[in-house]
């Protein structure tokens, strides 16, 4: 089997916490695969993503990308953050350019980098706003710039941390379609954290379901065998889509109901 991104026996504990957040996570991801990680809030989804990104150290076990262990953050694993995290003093173009200059200046000429920035802005259809500052554009647009910035670094893995969580339903659907398109076009491996069941089923090849934290483990992994390209309208009534959706819902709400919500 293709062991492109290999997470093995990964446990993460925060200092002074008696129970680890994540325990003995084992997950192997193929090249070009789209994996969604789903679970209730507080289960450690984002922690898992931060460890893959190298922003948090693993307590035990580890992450191996293409045969090399992850020891810190690096441009081969680009992150799209939930709160977009664009630098407010730079324009959209400059935000993407900063990432490109930082990661590709050794391999690309200045002119080629400029073109590459514009190409990535065009990919997320944000060329029109390239000279605007983040506070002049909408939340959905900011997130698209965040995606363009991540993709422009030519990462081996694209890590999406609830990228559409803060957006309204229509914008979210639009961006999901764009991400599917980009995934088809660039073939980038994607790990996406989400709490939206429909989003996971629609976008992912595999859905990894985490049990409730702390001490969260992988409860179940579901293969989504829907042909690509996927169309949200046609799939809504597709029995395979409906089956996958109810399997995830079953896991989240029947077998691993959120203890915090139950208490409330």
Question: Is the Cβ of residue 72 or residue 239 nearer to another protein in the bound state?
Answer: 72
Q: How far apart are CA 242 and CA 235, in angstroms?
A: 8
Question: Is the Cβ of residue 134 or residue 200 nearer to another protein in the bound state?
Answer: 134
Tokens read off for 113: 């980098």
Residue 11 CB, shortest distance to another protein, in Å, is: 22
Residue 232 CB, shortest distance to another protein, in Å, is: 30
Question: Is the Cβ of residue 186 or residue 217 nearer to another protein in the bound state?
Answer: 186
Question: Is the Cβ of residue 23 or residue 142 nearer to another protein in the bound state?
Answer: 142
Interaction site with another protein (CB under 8 A):
53-55, 72-75, 77-79, 81, 83, 85, 87-90, 98-99, 102-103, 133, 135, 153
Residue 85 CB, shortest distance to another protein, in Å, is: 4
Residue 133 CB, shortest distance to another protein, in Å, is: 5
What residues does 12 pair with on adjacent strands?
A: 22
Question: Is the Cβ of residue 18 or residue 72 nearer to another protein in the bound state?
Answer: 72
Residue 21 CB, shortest distance to another protein, in Å, is: 18
Picking from 150, 199, 149, the residue whose alpha carbon sits closest to that of residue 177 is 199
């Amino acid at each position: 089997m293709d062991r492109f991104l290999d997470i093995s026996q990964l446990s993460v504990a925060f200092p002074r916490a008696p129970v680890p957040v994540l325990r003995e996570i084992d997950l192997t991801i193929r090249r070009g695969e789209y994996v969604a990680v789903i679970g209730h809030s507080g289960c450690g989804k984002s922690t898992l993503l931060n460890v893959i990104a190298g922003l948090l150290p693993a307590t035990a076990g580890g992450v191996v990308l293409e045969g090399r262990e992850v020891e810190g953050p690096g441009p081969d694993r680009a992150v799209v953050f939930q709160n977009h995290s664009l630098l407010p003093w730079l324009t959209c173009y400059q935000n993407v350019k900063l990432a490109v200059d930082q990661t590709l200046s050794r391999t690309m000429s200045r002119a080629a980098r400029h073109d590459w920035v514009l190409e990535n802005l065009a990919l997320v259809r944000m060329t029109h706003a390239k000279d605007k500052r983040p506070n002049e554009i909408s939340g959905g647009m900011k997130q698209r710039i965040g995606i363009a910035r991540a993709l422009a670094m030519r990462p081996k893995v694209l890590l999406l941390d609830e990228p559409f969580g803060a957006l309204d339903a229509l914008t979210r659907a639009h961006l999901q379609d764009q991400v599917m398109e980009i995934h088809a076009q660039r073939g980038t491996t994607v790990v996406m954290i989400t709490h939206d069941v429909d989003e996971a089923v629609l976008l992912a090849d595999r859905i990894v379901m985490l049990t409730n934290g702390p001490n969260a483990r992988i409860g179940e992994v579901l293969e989504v065998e829907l042909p690509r390209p996927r169309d949200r309208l046609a799939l809504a009534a597709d029995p395979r889509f409906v089956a996958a959706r109810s399997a995830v819902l079953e896991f989240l709400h029947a077998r691993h109901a959120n203890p915090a919500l139950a208490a409330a």
